[in-house]
Amino acid sequence: MGQVRARAFPSNMRLSFWLALIFALFGAAIAGGLVARHVQLARREAYGQQERLGSITLSAVGALVQAQARQGRFIELGRNFGELVRQADVATIVVRDRKGRRMVGRSDDPALVGREPRPGRPLDRVDDGLYDVEGPVDLGPKGKGTVTVSFRTAKLEGRLRDVAAEGFGTAVTALLGLALSAWFLGMFAGERIERVVSRIESLAAAPEKFRPLRADGMGGFEVSRLIQAFNRMGAGLKAETARRRELEAEKRELSAMLVHDLKTPLTVIRSGIALLAEVAPRPGGKREHNRTFELLEMSTMRLQRMVEDVLQISKLEESSVLSRTERVEMTGLARDCAKDFELVVADRKQKLELRLDDAPSPPVLGDPALLRRVLDNLVHNAVEHTPAGGTIAIGVRPEQGGVVVEVSDSGPGVPPEARADVFLKFFQKDVKRHVGNVGLGLALCEKVVSRHGGTIGIGDAVPKGARFYFTLPGAPAPEEV
């Protein structure tokens, strides 16, 4: 019997079998979801109608109370409440003065008149069968008060249970119909679709290698149309992929050209600002408009840093290998970086520490200018986000034949939810204030470290702040280079 079953369901039919089952389950999920959505919408609509009815009734009762209370006709007001309770499907109406004392009240159940109302409670949280609405009211000579109107929810919940039962029946019927239809559809079409699946997978993996399918022998008008549509899509995707790569290459080239052309005018601007700062009047020994000159210098330096970052990123993206490599001592780079930032941190009343491990760190093989740029960017970020009196630390230590370089600060730190994205280009979120304003410096760091065969990451500093670190493999022995 097992052999007969194997002949009835050969290996090329098993996918069809599972496809039919998946279609049936998927259809059942859709049917169940639609019915559940229908029941949910019906409940929401019913609750909304009840809430609107409560609001309208409360407004009408409030107007009636104010009109009767101003004339002191509370007895007649009680009779009016009784009529409303009998005719308007209202359970309870109670008027209280500003101290919460009941002045007028009517109910279809006398025991409910003294009940403590719970206004503001959503309908879906009503557990005692009464939905309360309450509002302020002017009681004339009696001053301010409140009016509370309560509605019974038993009829509403009964209608909703009927809707749910009807929806369940519809879901069962739809489930059976969809399961049966999906079974036949999957058994009929699954076998033919299997032959197209591998080509679709190859298209998704490598659109530029697309080759059109032939419809000969595939069988079925629908499958032939599917193949034709697939061929059109594949051809379009192949052309679009080629065009996009050309555009990306042109964009990188244009960006590099523009950024390169910006360097000269920026240098002229910086020189001009420096010259104007030197010749600016200094009455009393203090330069006029000193803060303006500082802002100009800072903004120009930031713009020049951004231009250089864009240029470096473009160069790194154009080539998969470094244009210059030599043996680099990261300890020396760290010392030079700390020395260059001494005046900056002193001006900001910050403290800069250089933490070097007692054990010597091995040299690394790479571009010293790019590695120094990584250090500068990380320390610059730390300086920007460390308050006055805070501490910035640069550390270098050996680890597993390589080097670990750390830059930590005592600023606000980087939230955990942002750490996965801070090294992306033009990262823009509310957390950008923690990692820089341009969105290029850390992206450049990641690309440089990756190009050197290392890794970069972020963690928490002790006792607080951010800790950026990157690891680099040690350089091979000189004879192996």
Domain boundaries, the chain: 13-161, 206-318, 323-480
Per-residue pLDDT at 252: 65
Specify whether the CB–CB gap between 166 and 158 falls below 8 A. no
**Greater confidence, 86 or 180?**
86
- String of DSSP letters for 397-425: EEETTEEEEEEE-SSS---GGGTTTTTST
How large is the average pLDDT for residues 180-199? Answer: 66
Q: Which two tokens stand for residue 393?
A: 């630390």
pLDDT tens sequence across 48-87: 888 888 888 888 888 888 888 888 888 888 888 888 887 7
SS3 of residue 439 by DSSP: coil
Per-residue pLDDT at 350: 93
The superfamily CATH assigns to domain 323-480 is Histidine kinase-like ATPase, C-terminal domain (3.30.565.10)
Residue 345: count of CB within 10 angstroms of its CB: 20
Task: Inform me whether the pLDDT recorded for 468 exceeds 90.
Answer: yes
Q: Which residues contact 78 (CB under 8 A, 6 or more apart)?
A: 104, 105, 106
Rg from Cα positions in the chain: 38
Q: Please report which confidence band the pLDDT of residue 393 belongs to, taking 50, 70 and 90 as the band edges.
A: very high
SS3 of residue 467 by DSSP: strand
Q: Under CATH, which number does the domain 206-318 receive?
A: 1.10.287.130
Specify whether the CB–CB gap between 438 and 259 falls below 8 A. no
Q: Parallel, antiparallel, or unpaired: how do β-strands 455-460 and 466-473 relate?
A: antiparallel
Task: Inform me whether the pLDDT recorded for 152 exceeds 80.
Answer: yes
Q: Please report which confidence band the pLDDT of residue 420 belongs to, taking 50, 70 and 90 as the band edges.
A: confident
Beta strands in 323-418 (DSSP E): 326-328, 351-356, 364-366, 391-399, 402-408
How large is the average pLDDT for residues 33-62? Answer: 83
Structurally, what CATH architecture does the domain formed by 13-161 represent?
2-Layer Sandwich (3.30)
Q: Please report which confidence band the pLDDT of residue 288 belongs to, taking 50, 70 and 90 as the band edges.
A: low
Report d(CA 444, CA 301) in Å as an integer. Answer: 17
How large is the average pLDDT for residues 395-421? Answer: 89
pLDDT tens sequence across 238-272: 888 888 877 777 766 666 666 666 666 767 777 77
The identity of residue 139, as a single letter, is: L
Q: Is 346 exposed, middle or buried (0-12, 13-18, 19+ CB in 10 A)?
A: exposed
**Greater confidence, 312 or 137?**
137
What are the backbone dihedrals phi and psi of residue 268, each rounded to the nearest 5 degrees, phi first? -65, -40
Instruction: Return the residue matching tokens 């609107």.
Output: 52
Instruction: Return the residue matching tokens 């003065």.
Output: 97
Task: Note every long-range contact of 446-450, with CB atoms under 8 Å and residues 24 or more positions apart, other chains counting.
Answer: 447/313, 447/316, 447/317, 448/312, 448/316, 448/367, 448/370, 448/371, 448/373, 448/374, 449/374
Task: Inform me whether the pLDDT recorded for 353 exceeds 90.
Answer: yes
Report d(CA 95, CA 84) in Å as an integer. Answer: 14
Nearest Cα neighbor of 410 from 459, 462, 472 is: 462
**Greater confidence, 481 or 382?**
382
Order of all β-strands in the sheet with 130-138: 102-107, 92-97, 144-152, 130-138
Q: Which two tokens stand for residue 40?
A: 């949910």
Instruction: Return the residue matching tokens 């419809």.
Output: 215
Per-residue pLDDT at 473: 93
**Greater confidence, 467 or 279?**
467
Report d(CA 106, CA 74) in Å as an integer. Answer: 12
